A and B are shown apart, each in its own frame.
Chain A
Amino acid sequence: MSLADATRSEATKQLTTSMWWILAVVLFAYVGFTAAVLGFVFTGAATGSLPGDAPPVPIEGLSAVLYSAATAIGYVFPLLIGTLMVTAEFRHKTLTPTFLATPKRGLVLWAKILVGIALGLLFGVVGVLSSVIPSAGFLAANGLETDFTSSDTWALFGRMILAFVLWVLVGIGVGALVRNQVGAIVGVLVFTQFLEPVGRTAAGFVEGLTGVTRFLPGAASDALVGASLFSTAAPGLPAEDPLQWWVGGLVLLGYAIVLVLLGHLISWRRDVT
């Protein structure tokens, strides 16, 4: 009963069910498809090959915007896998055998965090690949710069993978806090797919509100990555003044720490009945 044992057990726990690879496949398909559509439209608009009066898209930084689609739209996947890592234990009552084997509950949570980091890295790589492959294809096909020779691009990839890892940790915190699997999934989807995007967009209309919304987790994640569809999606509106990338990373890490800590104190130590 050590952290190493608990972590190995936790890794086996994740890899012996289908959830991780199903989510990875869906992540790849979803982000890949979106990146392909965006790549087609944006590269077309940038080169002026699209018919009609498409708004001009700056060629400068286009590759980064396309590549970062993985985090801009795909961050819900690491968030979900982190949430499910914890809620599945409540859902299937496996917390009982887990805590019997490892009565020190903090150890179990640490093991989940470590395995979560590993899964975050894996999902990050999958996410980066899923957005880069189609984007780079369209960029190259239109004779635009793929920027693979630039160290900035590789730093971007690194920050994207870091964002995936942090999102898994946020998910673990959410799962520990919410416990109910269905509630957690619905809550995560509603927040990430509806509340936050709408809030961030709406905040553009209100003076000074973007100063607050840029601290929302999705905004912090975008800041960390340093490029986002959101900065180009609504060109007419005053965009958020994004945080420094490292501040964004710290904010996201802060969410993860606070949620995991609260989950541990409020829910994880409760009676298992």
Chain B
Amino acid sequence: MPEGQVLEFSGITKHFGAVRAVSDFAARVEPGVVTGFLGPNGAGKTTTLRILLGLVRATTGTATIGGLPYSSLSRPLQTVGAVLESSSFHPGRSAANHLKVYAQAAGLAPARVEETLGLVGLADVGGRKVGGFSLGMRQRLGVAYALLGDPGVLVLDEPANGLDPEGIKWMRGFLRHLAREGRTVFVSSHLLSEVQQTVDSVLIISQGRLVFQGALEDLADPSEFATVVDSPDRAALSAALTAAGVQFELLRSGFTVRGLDPARVGEIAASAGVGLSSLARRGQALEEVFLDLVSGARVHPTAAAASAGVGAVAGIAPLPPVDGADAGPDPAAHDAATEAEASTVAADLEAGSGGAPGAAIATGAAVGAATWAATASADEQDAPAVVEPADSPVEPAAEPPGEPFVEPSPTYAVASTGVIDIIPFAGDPATDAYADGLPLDADPDVEALGAIDEELSDVEDADEPPVVDRPWEKYVKTPADVEADAFFATFTAAGDGEGAGPDEDEADAEFGAEAGPPEESIAESTDAESEPSADAEPAAPEDDDTTELGTLADLSPDWAEDDEARTDAERGEQR
């Protein structure tokens, strides 16, 4: 068994002309664990990996593998295996010959070619030309190349790109298996959710700088959690909670109680005789933390040195970094989001009344606008200095279109901005104001839970009118969307079994015998999605890792925008 090696980056800086791709990057990757290398597109991940592999020369700094730079390794393929891009093949060469070329270059036995082809499940197509391979098959061939020399270190750049759900599941189990054997596994991704279930520790890079280094558990603050509870009889539940003196917020998906664990909440409900439809503990959404780190809104001590620069670059206004969770939503942000929402509402109105197929497209367009505005507002919330009085006159613009569609229930209406999704429970006049699309009060704590609500509410919306229900489904999907859809499906599926002991065995099984047919994972994903809403039994409170369910809000940064757009659309439609 090959030994895993420590990967060490020290003071890596790389300029491409005037562009600084990586700045003073220093990190250490340990053997025996899967280390995720996260960052948005263009953050410098690929450049950093290529510097490690000697393909790109760092402007300053060194990257070593077991203490040696790549070019000094005496047996490189036997030391490090790398999967860098899915297109490094001559289309006219067969898969087996492709591997043979590099097996010979590394002085490996010819038998290794067949072995590795078998490992990645390409044994049957080894004689076929790579030009006829699907993207997933090419990706597997890339993995086969990395495994040729049975290396102790594996470096993978976005390995799940182009893989189908089955392939992603396979890849995940495979990486864990390799790490358990004591190898160093270093895998980059721009999707937190993609690696969340696989990695033990993460490096997060943004704008070429390291913004976090440590275990995944350290990413979220364990003291920041909430219990989400819901009942078919919401009035009774709210009465019970109020009677118990518990502070709570009503989201579309249920009541969120902060700082009180599920056992206690369940107890309150039980003593009041209220039947529950769901009860779960939610940790801080990792995606939120991730995005905050990446945007510079949150600075983690592990990368404090890099903080000042990131804050300055990432924020829209050049302000000192502030903690995103504590920053009150900025009035200007509301402005933008409210306007955008108004347009969504208008579009939904058409779609609802006309019911014409074209209306969905109009909604899509509005959603696009909303996304833009919501993004802008999300960014601006970290910049409290933008001028605009809190009671700015936005009502007239936003008010009329939504009126007929307001959800009748006085206690249950959906809030307006892309980020904030919470309304006060009591039937005070403010409720109506919210329904009309007025700006929300600046509730400092609201944001942190917004994502949770989005996750849950998206699952719950299944019983709504078909046409307007999911306007984004009518929206013309880009290939990236389709791909991300596939990702999402598996993450939900795998979230079921992930995070606990049994999964280890599962991973082993996958490694040995190739995952089952794709239908299996699809079925699983459906299960996972329907569970929270369909189960009438109070769900057993899962441990801290409920976030690993990998629902919508766990999606990539690319998708976060879409998410906001979706919720906007839904909201519009509900009023």
Please judge, given known A-B contacts A1-B75, A16-B94, A272-B55, whether A9 and B87 are in contact too, CB under 8 Å: no
Is A101 in contact with B77, judged by CB distance below 8 angstroms?
yes
Task: Judge whether A94 is part of the interface by a CB distance below 8 angstroms.
Answer: yes
**In the complex, chain A residues whose CB is within 8 Å of the CB of B97:** 12, 16
* Shortest CB distance B518–A (Å): 29
**In the complex, chain B residues whose CB is within 8 Å of the CB of A93:** 85, 87-88
Is B75 in contact with A12, judged by CB distance below 8 angstroms?
no
Task: Judge whether A143 is part of the interface by a CB distance below 8 angstroms.
Answer: no
Stretch at the interface among B26-34, B100-108, B304-312: B100-108
Residue among B50, B73, B88, B100 with most chain A CB within 10 A: B88
Binary B-proximity of A59-85 (CB < 8 A = 1, otherwise 0)? 000000000000000000000000000
Task: Judge whether B487 is part of the interface by a CB distance below 8 angstroms.
Answer: no
Task: Judge whether B56 is part of the interface by a CB distance below 8 angstroms.
Answer: yes
Complex: A9 Cα to B91 Cα, angstroms: 17
Is B76 in contact with A101, judged by CB distance below 8 angstroms?
yes
**In the complex, chain B residues whose CB is within 8 Å of the CB of A2:** 107
Is B74 in contact with A1, judged by CB distance below 8 angstroms?
yes
Residue among A5, A98, A103 with most chain B CB within 10 A: A103
Task: Judge whether A102 is part of the interface by a CB distance below 8 angstroms.
Answer: yes
CB contacts under 8 Å to A, within B98-150, are 98, 100-102, 104-107, 145
Binary A-proximity of B43-55 (CB < 8 A = 1, otherwise 0)? 0001100100111
Task: Judge whether A235 is part of the interface by a CB distance below 8 angstroms.
Answer: no
Task: Judge whether A151 is part of the interface by a CB distance below 8 angstroms.
Answer: no
Is A272 in contact with B56, judged by CB distance below 8 angstroms?
yes
Task: Judge whether B70 is part of the interface by a CB distance below 8 angstroms.
Answer: yes
Is B107 in contact with A5, judged by CB distance below 8 angstroms?
yes
Task: Judge whether A236 is part of the interface by a CB distance below 8 angstroms.
Answer: no
Is B105 in contact with A101, judged by CB distance below 8 angstroms?
yes
Is B90 in contact with A92, judged by CB distance below 8 angstroms?
yes
Task: Judge whether A262 is part of the interface by a CB distance below 8 angstroms.
Answer: no
Task: Judge whether B92 is part of the interface by a CB distance below 8 angstroms.
Answer: yes
Task: Judge whether B89 is part of the interface by a CB distance below 8 angstroms.
Answer: yes
Partner of A98, one of B82, B92, B105: B105
Please judge, given known A-B contacts A93-B87, A97-B88, whether A1 and B100 are in contact too, CB under 8 Å: no
* Shortest CB distance A17–B (Å): 5
* Shortest CB distance B80–A (Å): 8
**In the complex, chain A residues whose CB is within 8 Å of the CB of B53:** 100
* Shortest CB distance A258–B (Å): 25
Is A96 in contact with B90, judged by CB distance below 8 angstroms?
no
Task: Judge whether B71 is part of the interface by a CB distance below 8 angstroms.
Answer: yes
Chain B, interface residues (CB within 8 Å), range: 35 or more
Complex: A138 Cα to B164 Cα, angstroms: 64
Is B93 in contact with A16, judged by CB distance below 8 angstroms?
yes
Complex: A272 Cα to B145 Cα, angstroms: 18
Chain B residue, CB-CB nearest to A4: B107
* Shortest CB distance A238–B (Å): 48
Is A1 in contact with B106, judged by CB distance below 8 angstroms?
yes
Complex: A96 Cα to B70 Cα, angstroms: 13
Is A99 in contact with B77, judged by CB distance below 8 angstroms?
no
Complex: A89 Cα to B50 Cα, angstroms: 17
Is A101 in contact with B93, judged by CB distance below 8 angstroms?
no
Is A100 in contact with B76, judged by CB distance below 8 angstroms?
yes
**In the complex, chain B residues whose CB is within 8 Å of the CB of A98:** 102, 105
* Shortest CB distance B392–A (Å): 48
Task: Judge whether B57 is part of the interface by a CB distance below 8 angstroms.
Answer: yes
* Shortest CB distance A127–B (Å): 24
Complex: A8 Cα to B74 Cα, angstroms: 18
CB contacts under 8 Å to B, within A36-76, are none
Is A271 in contact with B56, judged by CB distance below 8 angstroms?
yes
* Shortest CB distance A15–B (Å): 9
**In the complex, chain B residues whose CB is within 8 Å of the CB of A100:** 53, 55, 76-77, 80, 82, 102
Binary B-proximity of A21-48 (CB < 8 A = 1, otherwise 0)? 0000000000000000000000000000
Partner of A102, one of B82, B85, B94, B105: B105
Is B54 in contact with A12, judged by CB distance below 8 angstroms?
no
**In the complex, chain B residues whose CB is within 8 Å of the CB of A1:** 74-76, 105-107
CB contacts under 8 Å to A, within B51-87, are 53-57, 70-71, 73-77, 80, 82, 84-85, 87
Please judge, given known A-B contacts A17-B92, A272-B50, whether A97 and B106 are in contact too, CB under 8 Å: no
Complex: A228 Cα to B107 Cα, angstroms: 45
Task: Judge whether A88 is part of the interface by a CB distance below 8 angstroms.
Answer: yes
**In the complex, chain B residues whose CB is within 8 Å of the CB of A149:** none
Chain B residue, CB-CB nearest to A270: B57
**In the complex, chain B residues whose CB is within 8 Å of the CB of A13:** 90, 93, 101
Chain A residue, CB-CB nearest to B73: A103
Partner of B88, one of A12, A92, A102: A92
CB contacts under 8 Å to B, within A251-273, are 271-273
Complex: A92 Cα to B87 Cα, angstroms: 7
Chain B residue, CB-CB nearest to A15: B97
Task: Judge whether A18 is part of the interface by a CB distance below 8 angstroms.
Answer: yes
Complex: A222 Cα to B495 Cα, angstroms: 72
Partner of B104, one of A9, A88, A99, A271: A9
Please judge, given known A-B contacts A92-B88, A97-B88, A104-B71, whether A8 and B104 are in contact too, CB under 8 Å: yes
Chain B residue, CB-CB nearest to A9: B105
Chain B residue, CB-CB nearest to A111: B105
Chain B residue, CB-CB nearest to A108: B105
Is A94 in contact with B89, judged by CB distance below 8 angstroms?
yes
Complex: A160 Cα to B92 Cα, angstroms: 31
Chain A residue, CB-CB nearest to B106: A101
Chain A residue, CB-CB nearest to B90: A92
Is A9 in contact with B101, judged by CB distance below 8 angstroms?
yes
* Shortest CB distance A8–B (Å): 5
* Shortest CB distance B303–A (Å): 26
Chain B residue, CB-CB nearest to A107: B105
Complex: A143 Cα to B289 Cα, angstroms: 91
Is A271 in contact with B102, judged by CB distance below 8 angstroms?
no
**In the complex, chain A residues whose CB is within 8 Å of the CB of B105:** 1, 5-6, 8-9, 98, 101-102
**In the complex, chain A residues whose CB is within 8 Å of the CB of B90:** 13, 17, 88, 92, 94
A93-B85, A272-B50 known; 9 other A-B pairs, CB under 8 Å?
A1-B76, A1-B106, A8-B104, A92-B90, A93-B87, A93-B88, A103-B54, A273-B46, A273-B55
5 chain-A/chain-B pairs, Cβ below 8 angstroms: A18-B92, A92-B91, A93-B87, A100-B102, A101-B102
A interface with B by C-beta (< 8 Å): 1-2, 5-6, 8-9, 12-13, 16-19, 88, 92-94, 96-104, 271-273
B interface with A by C-beta (< 8 Å): 46-47, 50, 53-57, 70-71, 73-77, 80, 82, 84-85, 87-94, 97-98, 100-102, 104-107, 145
* Pairs A-B, 6 closest by C-beta atoms: A9-B105, A101-B105, A16-B97, A9-B104, A271-B56, A272-B55
